[in-house]
C-alpha cells in the first residue's frame, strides 16, 4: 500500500457504485415491481367498478393516494435502510473503512445511492 489517500470525489464515486450494486438485487426488484403492479391492479379494479361515475378519476385517485403516498415512501425506506444495512452485514463497510479515505464520502455515496432508484418515473416515459 502506497499510503496515498483517495480523493473525495473518487471516494464518493467508489462508495456510490459499490452500494448501488448491492441495492439492485433481483429479489428487491421483483418484490417492488409486484407491489407497483398491485397498485395498478387495485386502480384498474376501482376504475372498472360499475357504480363509479368517472373511472379515470377514480383510478388516478387510487394511484395518487395509494401509490404515491404509500408505495413510494416504502420503496424509499427499503433502499435507504439497505444502503448502509446490507453493507454493514456483509462486511463491505469494513472494506471501505480500511481504504485510505475520509469517512464522509462513504456517507455521501450511500446518501446518493439510496434514492437513486426510488424516485417516481418522469411523466414522459
Question: Which tens digits make up the pLDDT trace of 101-112?
Answer: 787 887 888 778
Model confidence pLDDT, tens digit, residues 59-116: 888 888 888 888 888 877 777 777 667 666 777 767 776 777 787 887 888 778 766 6
Give the CA angle between residues 103, 108, 110 to the nearest 5°.
100
Under a CB-based contact definition with an 8 Å cutoff, are residues 88 and 96 in contact?
A: no
Residue where the block lists cell 452485514:
89
Any long-range contacts for 92-100 (C-beta under 8 Å, 24+ apart)? 92/18, 92/19, 92/22, 96/14, 96/15, 96/18, 99/6, 99/11, 99/14, 100/1, 100/3, 100/4, 100/5, 100/6
Contact call for residues 4 and 101 (beta carbons, < 8 A) = no
Report the alpha-carbon distance of residue 114 to residue 12 in Å, rounded: 13
Indicate whether this model's pTM tops 0.75. Answer: no
Give every CB contact of residue 103 below 8 A, 6+ residues apart in sequence.
97
Amino acid at each position: 500500500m502506497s499510503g496515498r489517500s483517495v480523493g473525495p470525489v473518487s471516494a464518493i464515486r467508489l462508495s456510490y457504485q459499490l452500494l448501488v450494486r448491492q441495492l439492485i438485487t433481483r429479489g428487491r426488484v421483483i418484490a417492488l415491481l409486484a407491489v407497483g403492479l398491485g397498485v395498478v391492479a387495485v386502480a384498474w379494479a376501482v376504475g372498472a367498478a360499475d357504480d363509479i361515475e368517472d373511472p379515470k378519476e377514480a383510478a388516478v385517485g387510487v394511484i395518487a393516494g395509494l401509490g404515491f403516498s404509500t408505495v413510494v415512501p416504502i420503496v424509499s425506506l427499503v433502499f435507504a435502510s439497505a444502503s448502509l444495512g446490507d453493507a454493514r452485514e456483509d462486511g463491505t463497510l469494513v472494506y471501505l473503512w480500511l481504504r485510505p479515505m475520509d469517512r464522509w464520502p462513504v456517507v455521501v455515496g450511500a446518501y446518493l445511492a439510496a434514492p437513486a432508484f426510488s424516485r417516481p418515473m418522469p411523466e414522459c416515459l
